[in-house]
Structures are given as structure tokens and as C-alpha cells.
Amino acid sequence: MSRYELRFSGSGGQGLITAGIIMAKAASIYEGKQAVQSQSYGPEARGGSSKSEVIISDGPIDYPKATMVDALLAMTQEACDKYTHDLKEGGILLVDSDLVTKLPTTGNYRIISFPIINTAKTDVGREIVANIVALGAMVALTGQVSRENAEKAVLSSVPEAFIELNRKAFSIGYERALAASA
Amino acid sequence: MSKKVAFLQGNEAAAHGALYAGCDFFGGYPITPSTEVAEVMSIELPKIGGKFIQMEDEIGAMAAILGASLAGAKVLTSTSGPGLSLKQELIGYGCIAEIPCVIYNVMRGGPSTGMPTGPSQSDVMCAKWGTHGDHPAICLTPASVQETYEEVIRAFNLSEKYRTPVMVMPDEIVAHMRERIVFPEQGEIEVVPRKSPTVPPEQYKPYDTSFGDVPPLASFGSGYKFHVTGLNKMQDGFPTTKADIVQAEEERQVRKVDANVDDIVTFEEYLLEDADVVVVAYGSTSRSARYAVNIAREQGVKAGMFRIKTFWPFPDKQIKALASKVKGIVIPEMNLGMCSLELERCAQGKVPVLGIFRVDGEPINPDQILEKIKEVK
């Protein structure tokens, strides 16, 4: 069974549920695979810890939540501390290097870090697309969907006026992750 | 022509299913984790000339859909636990006055406001026993986004066919998770129309049993006038305390469902032919169960799953048959043992019923189920 599990975690309002939805949509609508996206979040509209999980498979997906995570994105220190426990040995851990300063000391992970939010702010021009920068990076690191299909999913999920901004965010995230993991 | 596909949430699929079934009136009050249904309906209904109304509370919303249904609309409300509690008085009204309507309730746990964003399956008893008095109960528990879409359509059909409120109760996981959905073409899934009167207005009686256990229902505004009450009533709709009429009418109302369980009850049997252990599951928990059953099989344990799709009426006949066949029943559920009670009732002590009960807002994972499967000797 080709089950691949991704988790996007951080704090509420960072757009991580959206990032998860777009990843799942890329796999399920554009890549021809099967995908399920689920989430858990607190009652707050902003803040609080938030996670979005995506399961990608070639066949039907039964259990919709993560069992052993293949790739984890942590956008806050709290998320990194809380959600690394079920990351697979050798799994991918992508963190925002400005926000996550204490990396896990146990476990053998492939850790990739770069300043995700700051990249959105300075290189793309808007902090609000940090989730798409992170998504671009996750697409590059996991290889579960092609760059083209992921970009299609991004562009079909954002308002018309923000297409160029998101295209740029996705592309920069993708390139930065490749550079950071090289 | 290839069919339309989308990547949708369970709640969004529910709204689209309702529209497919011809829903043209939504009355509701927003509540996590069901609000997306109201959001979609508020956008889509005006486009097709339907009506969306956000009422002052859940009680008002329930009253609004009953009224709209009596005027001929196909109606939906959506809510979650605390809202379901508030609606109960009027759900009973819908049962006794025999008003078709669909109540979509996302289970988030409780009692009271509980954990608004956490999953639960603890409203299933409320679907049958929440409102007082003997009354028919139909409750569907879908397990995927596609199934939520289809079961909402079936709920509309059952409510029209049996002239009674029908509930659809996904847990929060099913309601909020997203999957690919393939939309059926118009006409691909049957949509049951309301049975209208065949007699002129002056001869019409709203509970005329000469037409069978489910009498035709006229729409207000179409020239037919009749009385509607929450009191026990006669065939013409006016109240009565005549013992024989009350007894017969109460029995008929319950019989509408009881005599038609084979038409209403749906389920899925998975690897049951040679199973020693059966996991009975419903909603998102059945997805963990299927995963666990597959692993158990790989490890040489003959496990299978009976998935409840229609929770009420309960699949008594099927569970009784299983209880004579297997060595044990495992029931994982996100409550402290509700379906478990029904299984024990049906199993009649023939086999042990082992429960896995979780109310901490976390899903029941496959490992927990696998462990319990192995406890059956």
C-alpha cells in the first residue's frame, strides 16, 4: 500500500489548513491519485495550535488521519514540539528557521529549514502567502505531486487578483526548499 | 461526457446533495462544526429561487423548516449537538404532525457545548430518544464525503416517502474532511416526490388512512385547508382524546418505519463470510475499523466488518444473525457506549460485545481496534 502521510502544523490563522487542502487537491484532482485531507484546530479563530493532515495513496484511503507521518511542516516551535512524535524515522521535517529554533534532539529526520515567513515577506512581498511558500517547499521535498499539478491546484484555489502573487510564492518556496536540501 | 468532480468537505457535499434532492428551503442557525452547510445553502439557494433564512436560534430554525415543508417546500436544517437539543420539541412536532424534513446534525460531543471542534458520535441515541413520546426515527450515519452527498439525497427521499423527519448524522471527521467527489448526473439518483392528494380540497383529510399508512400531504397555498397540531389527532387533523383513535394513530406512525425496515436499513458487509470476529462500526470510525480489519487479516486473524449506514432503525435482524455466527463483536465508537447497548440487545448474550469508547476529541485509531480484535477468543 502506497500510503503517504503529510502534516501541516503551526498556529491558527497561518493558512495551514488551506495549504493541506491544496496539496490534497493537487493529488486527487490533478495527479490522479487518491487523497484525504482532515484537520484539527481549537475553538479560537486565530492562535491556538492547528494541524492539517493529508493522506495520499494510489488506492482507497480508509483511515483519514495520520498513523506514521512521512513529512511534517512545523511553522511554530509549539507545533514542532507537539507533532514530531509520530514522524517516521528518516521522515522529512520542514521548519521555519526563525520560529523553530529548538530542533528535535532524538529521532533521525531529514530536517530542512529556511525562514519561510520572512521569505514570503521579503522575497515574495506579502507575509500572507507564507503558507503557499511552505506548500511549494513541501511539494518539492515530498515529490508526491508534480510541480505543474501542484501549481494548477494553487492557482485554482486562490482569488483571480492574487494569482500572480501565489504563483510567485509557490515557485520561490519550491526553489528555496530544493536549495536548502541540496 | 466525463462527470463533474470536485474536492469537497463532507458538509459542502451535504449541501450539494440537498440541492440535488430538490431542497428549496433552508432554515438554520450557524454552529460549529456544521456551519459550512448553511454557508453553501445561503449562496446556492437564491440562485435557484429557493429561500435561505437564518433564524434567531435553532428552535426557530426547526419551526421555519416545518412551516415551509407544509407549504410544499423540501426543507433542510443543519446543526450540531447543542442545537439538536434545542430542536427536539419541534422534531417531535414534525413526527406527530407527519411533516417531511431533513435534519443534518454533525456530532461534536457534549453534553452541552462540549468540544465544538472535536469529533464525537454521542448524538446517536438523541436521534431516537431525544424527543419524548413514541415516534418513528430514521437516522443515517455516512462515512465519506461521497456517501454524505448520497445519504442526504436518500434522507430527503425517505422523509417524503414516509412523511416524517429524517436525520443525517456524520461525525465531525466526516463532516470536515475533504475528499474527491463525483457528482451524479440529473436523473442518475432517484428523487422521490411528495405524495399529493388525489381528492378535491373539500374531501381532503391530512391523515386519511384509506390511502395507507402514509397519507398524501397537501401543500398550504394550493387551495387545500387543514388543521395541524401537536396533539393526538383524528384523520381530519383535529385533536382527539378518543382512546381507540389515539392508539391506532400512534401505532400507525411508528409502523411507517417499523413495517419498512428492509426498505430503510442499509449496511455494508466487509470480509464477513468466514469471520470469527466482527467489528461493527459507523461513520469515520468504520474507516479505522476497515484499516484494522485489513491488518488483522494480514496477520492471520479472521476479522470482518459490519458497517452501519442506517443507524435507526437499527439493523436488528442482521446483528442477530451475526451473533449466531461469530465468536465476538468489537464496537469502536466515539462515545461511552451507545451502539454497544443496541448490539448487546441484539446479541442476547450469545457472544461478547467488546467496546472501545473514546470521548477525548481524538479519533479511534486502527491500533486500538486491532488490539481489541485480538482479545476475542
User: What per-residue confidence (pLDDT) applies to A53?
Assistant: 97
Overall average pLDDT of the B357-373 stretch? 96
Overall average pLDDT of the B98-107 stretch? 98
The band of A175, judged by pLDDT with boundaries at 50, 70 and 90, is very high
Chain B hits for A38, Cβ within 8 Å: 173, 176-178
Overall average pLDDT of the B237-247 stretch? 98
Any chain B CB within 8 A of the CB of A62? yes
Q: Do A63 and B5 touch (CB under 8 A)?
A: no
pLDDT above 70: percentage of residues in chain B:
100
Beta-carbon contacts of residue B342 (< 8 Å; ≥ 6 apart): B314, B319
pLDDT higher than 60, residue A19: yes
**At what angle are helices B366-375 and B285-298 packed, to 10 degrees?**
60
Closest by Cα among B103, B102, B98 to B85: B103
The band of A49, judged by pLDDT with boundaries at 50, 70 and 90, is confident
CATH numbers and ranges of domains, chain B? 1-264 (3.40.50.970), 266-375 (3.40.50.920)
User: What per-residue confidence (pLDDT) applies to A46?
Assistant: 66
User: What per-residue confidence (pLDDT) applies to B1?
Assistant: 54
User: What per-residue confidence (pLDDT) applies to A143?
Assistant: 97
Please give the Cα distance from B218 to B321 (Å, whole number). Answer: 42
The three cell numbers locating residue B3: 462527470
Chain B hits for A25, Cβ within 8 Å: 7, 178
pLDDT above 90: percentage of residues in chain A:
88
Q: Do B180 and A39 touch (CB under 8 A)?
A: no
CA dihedral of residues B177, B181, B187, B191 (deg, nearest 10): -10
A53-102 confidence digits (pLDDT tens): 999 999 999 999 999 999 999 999 999 999 999 999 999 999 999 999 99
Any chain B CB within 8 A of the CB of A32? no
Please give the Cα distance from A31 to A148 (Å, whole number). Answer: 9
CATH numbers and ranges of domains, chain A? 4-181 (3.40.920.10)
User: What per-residue confidence (pLDDT) applies to A106?
Assistant: 87
B177-197 confidence digits (pLDDT tens): 999 999 999 999 999 999 999
Question: Residue B70 is which amino acid?
Answer: L
The band of A12, judged by pLDDT with boundaries at 50, 70 and 90, is confident
User: What per-residue confidence (pLDDT) applies to A50?
Assistant: 87
Please write down the HEC assignment for all residues of chain B.
CCCCEEEEEHHHHHHHHHHHCCCCEEEECCCCCCHHHHHHHHHHHHHHCCEEEECCCHHHHHHHHHHHHHCCCCEEEEEEHHHHHHHHHHHHHHHHHCCCEEEEEEECCCCCCCCCCCCCCCCHHHHHHCCCCCCCCCEECCCCHHHHHHHHHHHHHHHHHHCCEEEECCEHHHHHCEEEEECCCCCCCCCCCCCCCCCCHHHCCCCCHHHCCCCCCCCCCCCCCCCCCCCCECCCCCECCCHHHHHHHHHHHHHHHHCCHHHHCCEEEECCCCCCEEEEECCCHHHHHHHHHHHHHHCCCCEEEEEECEEECCCHHHHHHHHCCCCEEEEEECCCCCHHHHHHHHHCCCCCEEEEECCCCCCCCHHHHHHHHHHCC
User: What per-residue confidence (pLDDT) applies to A11?
Assistant: 92
pLDDT higher than 90, residue B377: no
Average pLDDT, chain B: 97
The band of A37, judged by pLDDT with boundaries at 50, 70 and 90, is very high
User: What per-residue confidence (pLDDT) applies to B53?
Assistant: 98
Give this prediction's pTM. 0.96
Overall average pLDDT of the B156-168 stretch? 98
N- to C-terminal Cα separation, chain A: 29
Closest by Cα among B188, B222, B186, B184 to B206: B222
Interface test with chain B among A65, A145, A152, A156, by most B beta carbons within 10 Å: A65
Chain A hits for B117, Cβ within 8 Å: 40-43
Candidates B7, B176, B291; nearest CB to A38: B176
User: What per-residue confidence (pLDDT) applies to A107?
Assistant: 87
A115-165 confidence digits (pLDDT tens): 999 999 999 999 999 999 999 999 999 999 999 999 999 999 999 999 999
| Exposed / middle / buried, residue B242 (Cβ in 10 Å: 0-12, 13-18, 19+) | exposed
Chain B hits for A21, Cβ within 8 Å: 7, 178
